[in-house]
Structure formats: structure tokens, C-alpha cells
Amino acid sequence: MILARVEGSIVATKKNAKMTGQKFLVCRPVVIDSPQATEFKLGTSTVVAVDSLGAGEGELVLVVQGSSARLAAADKDTPVDAVVIGIVDTVDIAKKAVYRANS
């Protein structure tokens, strides 16, 4: 699993028939780059993930990729490589609050 921030969405009117009705999100992984860090640092890459929960722009989400994403999809034969499986409320590392939703 990866932690990522939702950067935006993608609209694709022509796509594989199994993807009809799916919402696509552009997600940027986040990292904590030192033990003293008090906030996340945005990664340099992005991933397109199918949104299974209704996540919105700016939210911190949990994303699974590969075979785990296919298992998380509604239909196991859906051609997906990344799926949002959680919307994060808080992240605590070494007894420090690194992230709190809506703060």
C-alpha cells in the first residue's frame, strides 16, 4: 500500500467497457523523509487509481497496486493496476501527529 494525496481526476469518455462508471484519480505518493519530519513530502511521480470510495481532491488516501488492486476492484477481471481503498483520517508516527484530516 502507498499513501498518496489526490491531485485531481481524469475523464476518459472512451475506455475499456469494464471501466464504464469508474472514477479515475491522479494520486501523488507522499513520504516522510527523516525521523524528525513533522509533515509529508510529496513524491515526484503520480499514479492513476480507480476510486472505489468517493475520495476528493486534496485528500490523503491509501492506494493498492498490482494484484491487490485487482482483488479490490468490484470485478476481478477489471483491468486495473491501482485502486483507492481508504481515505485517511490521521497518521501518527513516533508519537507525533504527522497528518490530521480537515486540519
Q: Are 98 and 90 in contact (CB under 8 A)?
A: no
Name residues whose C-beta falls within 8 Å of residue 68's C-beta, 6 or more positions apart in sequence: 1, 83
What are the boundaries of each domain within the chain? 2-100
19-31: per-residue pLDDT in tens? 888 899 999 999 8
Q: Are 9 and 23 in contact (CB under 8 A)?
A: yes
CATH of 2-100, one of 2.40.50.220, 2.30.30.40, 2.40.10.10, 1.25.40.10: 2.40.50.220
Question: Percent of the chain scored above 70 by pLDDT?
Answer: 86
Task: Give me the percent of the chain exceeding a pLDDT of 90.
Answer: 48
Better-predicted residue by pLDDT, 48 or 66 = 48
Taking the C-alpha atoms of residue 52 and residue 31, their distance in angstroms, rounded to an integer, is 23
